Structure 1
Amino acid sequence: MSRVTKRKHVMNEALWDDLELPKKDHSVVKVLKSMGNNLHQVSTPSGEVYLVSMPIKFRRNIWVKRGDYILVEPILEGNKVKAEIVKIFNKESIKFYKDNNIWPEEFDEKKNVGEKDNDGDLFENTNRNRLQNYSESSEDDSDSEGSSVDESNDLKH
């Protein structure tokens, strides 16, 4: 099987285009952060925090980032890593789960509006200075300070 064909099948399996309901032992969790080595720290609706692993077939084909919702299946023999990722939710699958009353209320976006605004997903470039608004008096002070520095530099040359 070619790399492209494999990636197509893995993407279809991970995203479940047919929108199936979860099995009894599956649970919905939110990704808190990536821990490396295909491990992710997640939080359950009850607030429990633990590690989940990315299955081998999803590695290098599927990426999970902080704030994503995923469906996990528990691993019985795991001490630190307690579950394995089964599905990564997209907007359509979240809507499907909400319509079928399967989505946890703790993860409901409308409930948590005060915590996160809509611009939270946008990348903020920290390499550029932000524009700051100063009152007119502070602008006059900065102009006079700047001119005195320029005059002292001119005198030295």
Structure 2
Amino acid sequence: MGRKQTAADILDSESPSIEPGTEQRYARVIGPRGNHQHEVEFTDGTRTLVTLQPRFRHLVWVKRGHYVIVDPSLGTTTEKVGGEIIHVLFPKHIKTLEQSGQWPAEFSRKRQETPEKDNDDDDNSDNDDDLFVNNNRPVMSDTESSSSDEE
């Protein structure tokens, strides 16, 4: 199987192929840790370090907040690594899983609870405490500048 075929399989896969098996679990990526390793959080809240399969490494970029399917039985060559990412879920996969009722409720709540940008900034626009203060410049008050003008 060539690189183009693998990319097509990843991007065009349908819901029956993305369902996790008996040992496989859904996880949310917390962040990359280097050397194709990512910290993930499972539905029960446990966190572990997993590796990305070599066939995905130059095709898919896994970022913080993405959802993946992890097989904990793979990649247990060291005690730090707790599994291997076997599938990266795209928004269309998640939508299909939600419609079929197979998506975990824990992740549905976390997706809905993500903070949106508040529009309350207009109410506090006159508050000078929120402004950026440049510590690299001396602070001159109005009295100092007026006294230097008089001389």
1:59 aligns with 2:51: no
In the superposition, relative to structure 1, how do residues 112 and 87 fare at CA in structure 2: closer, same or farther (>3 Å)?
A: closer
Q: Scaled by the length of structure 1, what TM-score is found?
A: 0.68
Using the size of structure 2 for normalisation, the TM-score is: 0.70
Count of residue pairs brought into register by the alignment: 131
Q: Which residue of 2 aligns with 1:32?
A: 30
Deviation, 1:100, is: 2.0
4+ residue runs over 4 A deviation: none
- Provide closer, same or farther for how the CA distance between residues 94 and 119 of structure 1 changes in structure 2, counting only shifts above 3 A: farther
What's 1:99 paired with? 99
d(CA) in 2 for partners of 1:118 and 1:11? 32
Identity over aligned pairs, percent? 27
Q: State the Cα deviation string for residues 21-71 of structure 1 (Å, max 9, x = none).
A: 332222110011111111001111011111110111211321111111001
Give distance in 2, aligned partners of 1:76 and 1:36. Answer: 16
CA distance in 1: counterparts of 2:75 and 2:66, whole angstroms: 24
SS at match of 2:9: helix
How much has 1:12 moved relative to structure 2? 2.6
1:50 to 48, 57, 61: 48
Give SS of 2:8's match: helix
**Contact 1:41–1:51 under 8 Å retained in 2:** yes
Amino acid at match of 1:151: S
Tell me: CA distance 1:56–1:76, structure 2 relative to 1, closer, same or farther (3 Å): closer
| Runs (5+) with no aligned partner, structure 1 | 121-130, 136-144
Structure 2 portions without partners, runs of 5+: 119-123, 129-139
Shift of 1:152: 4.0
2:69 is aligned to 71
CA distance in 1 between counterparts of 2:37 and 2:44 reads 21
1:70-122 deviations in Å (ceiling 9; x for gaps): 0112216342212111211111100111122221111014x664x422349xx
Pick closer, same or farther for the CA change 1:112–1:98 going to 2, 3 Å: closer
